Structure formats: structure tokens, C-alpha cells
């Protein structure tokens, strides 16, 4: 289909290892977002990309978390030296760019997520 695609769907790794999560947005969507869904914290914003730049990284919980986006399309979220509290479902969303002004925010379309389990 033409939706947001995330891989892998499930990832189990040992504490201390690095992981990479991938997001392929809907074609033509210039805005891309990463969120985290965990039992204790609900749905939390991590980072927002407009094109290849990230004007809002305010939700990244620590310097172990980083993300990049290349070619205005695919994005990778990297977690270094994973900890057990990083266990969560990581969701990616994409949208058309907002045109600015009141009421212009475009709806975000979500992928099915990557379920990350840290042993």
C-alpha cells in the first residue's frame, strides 16, 4: 500500500546494544515525526523533520537517541547503548507540510510501529 512503512516490526536486543529503526513515509510527505508509545508514559513526541532538517528535537529523551533523514524521505532513529527503559513501541508518522497560519496543520498518518524490547 501507500502508507507509512516501518521496519522492523519487532526488535529484541540485549541491554547495551545499539539499534536502528527505519521509517519510510508516504510519498510526497515532507514532514516526518517520531513518537514513542510506552505503558507508563503514553504517546510521547520525540522529533520532527521538515525535509532533511529537524527543527524540533525537544522530545529526544537523552543523547543516546538520534535521528536522521536523507533525501527528504527515509528516516532512521538510532538508540545507542540501549537500556531497559527504552522498551516501547516506536511510531513514525508523516504529513504534508503545513501551509502556515491558523488551522493549517495537516493530519499525521502513522505507521504500524516497531516494538522494541530490551532484555
Partner 1 sequence: GDSVTQMEGPVTLSEEAFLTINCTYTATGYPSLFWYVQYPGEGLQLLLKATKADDKGSNKGFEATYRKETTSFHLEKGSVQVSDSAVYFCALSPAAGNKLTFGGGTRVLVKP
How far from chain centre, in Å, is Cα 67? 8
Estimate the share of the chain in helix, then strand, then coil, as percent rounded to the nearest 5.
5, 50, 50
16-55 residues near partner 1, rule: CB under 8 A: 31, 33, 35, 42-43, 45, 48, 50
Q: What span, in angstroms and rounded, lies between the C-alpha atoms of 111 and 7?
A: 10
70-109 residues near partner 1, rule: CB under 8 A: 91, 93, 95, 98, 102-105, 107-109
| Contact footprint for partner 1 (CB under 8 A) | 31, 33, 35, 42-43, 45, 48, 50, 56, 59, 91, 93, 95, 98, 102-105, 107-113
Amino acid at each position: 500500500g501507500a502508507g507509512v512503512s516501518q521496519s522492523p516490526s519487532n526488535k529484541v536486543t540485549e541491554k547495551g546494544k545499539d539499534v536502528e529503526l527505519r521509517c519510510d513515509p508516504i510519498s510526497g510527505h515532507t514532514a516526518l515525526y517520531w513518537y514513542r508509545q510506552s505503558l507508563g508514559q503514553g504517546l510521547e513526541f520525540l522529533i520532527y523533520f521538515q525535509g532533511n532538517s529537524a527543527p524540533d528535537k525537544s522530545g529526544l529523551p537523552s543523547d543516546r537517541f538520534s535521528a536522521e533523514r536523507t533525501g527528504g524521505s527515509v528516516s532512521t532513529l538510532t538508540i545507542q547503548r540501549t537500556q531497559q527503559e527504552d522498551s516501547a513501541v516506536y511510531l513514525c508518522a508523516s504529513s504534508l507540510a503545513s501551509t502556515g497560519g491558523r488551522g493549517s496543520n495537516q493530519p499525521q498518518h502513522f505507521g504500524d510501529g516497531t516494538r522494541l524490547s530490551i532484555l
